[in-house]
Amino acid sequence: MGAFVTEVQPRWSDMDAFGHVNHANTVTLLEDARVAMLFVEAARHGVDGLARGMVVARLAVDYHAPLLFTGEPVCVRIAVRDLKVASFVLDYTVHGGRSGDGPVVASAQTLMAPYDVANTRPRRLTETERDFLAAFHAGGGVA
């Protein structure tokens, strides 16, 4: 299937004094894209466990160019890497512009861990969840 691609909508309030989307608000846009993939798209494929408990264990963001607020959505591509039994990494590429052919303004990685909210502890991915995530795997084999 390749990378998951979605559009996210920067808000006027995301803008700083220079007309750029503030760095902290860029992280919120990453979250919006992640929710679209792990909650909405997963549910569309009958995978609902990811929406019941998932935590970000690590976040790294590299800013390549200012993300200018234009009122238009921006394109985010997400690929899965390091898919393991109880964690995986999401690699994000944020493009200025909705079509995905604009310049790369940021790239990021989140280490994700499924979480059992009721028992307040990490859990393993189910086979169905691993299969869903593997469809977006960026290579290197499924661990």
Task: Give burial (CB, 10 Å; 0-12/13-18/19+) of 119.
Answer: exposed
Question: In total, how many domains does the chain have?
Answer: 1
> Is residue 20 included in any domain, yes or no?
yes
> Is residue 40 included in any domain, yes or no?
yes
> Is residue 139 included in any domain, yes or no?
no
Summarize pLDDT for 81-135 with one digit per residue, the tens.
999 999 999 999 999 877 767 899 999 999 999 999 999 999 999 999 999 999 9
Q: Domain containing 51: what range?
A: 4-134
Q: Token pair for residue 3?
A: 């990378």
CATH code assigned at 9: 3.10.129.10
> Is residue 140 included in any domain, yes or no?
no
User: In this model, does residue 32 exceed pLDDT 70?
Assistant: yes
Summarize pLDDT for 93-102 with one digit per residue, the tens.
999 877 767 8
> Is residue 25 included in any domain, yes or no?
yes
